[in-house]
Amino acid sequence: MIKINLLPVRAAKKKETAVQQITIFCVGLVLVAVVVICLYLVKRVQVSAAQDDIATANTRIMELKKKIGKLEELKTVKDQVKKKLDVLVQLRKNKTGPAERLATLSDIAPEQLWLTGYAENGNDIKLSGIAYTEDLIATFMRSLEASADYTGVELVVSEQLDSGGLKLKKFDLTCKLKGSALPPQPAAAPKK
């Protein structure tokens, strides 16, 4: 009988199989390492891009905050200018108001009647003057009442006055302004 020794072939096959398995394992490890490194690099790029986006967004936010600050300043300046313009308009109204009222007085005063005093305190007005007759004073009072500026005309005093041999009538009148010719006076705060 012939005997064949297969042991060295089997050992060689086992060795070859072991080398193949180690090679496959190493190639697998290398492939896994390459995939992990690729994934790491992709994520690193994504993180870097996200950080760049965040930095850009923060820069844009800072620019917008500066613009908002400028807008707030402009709104404040606009409000201040509006208040100043309102004051100017009110001053212009008040400037023309007394001048117009005095012009009205001049227009409605009859001849031979002279005004010697004019005092304005809020809406209250006090007039003083001299006339030749009581009829002139009455005509003046009716004209005042009929005017667009005055109301509630009352004669306070009417007395005779001798001036250089002439008998004149001295008078004092009170009246009120019609409507809102003057701006409302601010109320004084009560003292504590």
Over residues 166-184, the pLDDT tens digits come to 888 999 999 998 864 444 4
Looking at residue 101, its pLDDT comes to 80
Looking at residue 185, its pLDDT comes to 47
Looking at residue 94, its pLDDT comes to 66
Looking at residue 40, its pLDDT comes to 96
Residue 157 CB contacts under 8 Å (≥ 6 apart), including other chains: 170, 171, 172
Residues of the chain with pLDDT below 70 are: 1, 3-9, 94-97, 179-192
Whole-model pTM over 0.95: no
Distances, alpha carbon 168 to alpha carbons 94, 158, 162, 164, in Å: 35, 10, 6, 10
Looking at residue 80, its pLDDT comes to 93
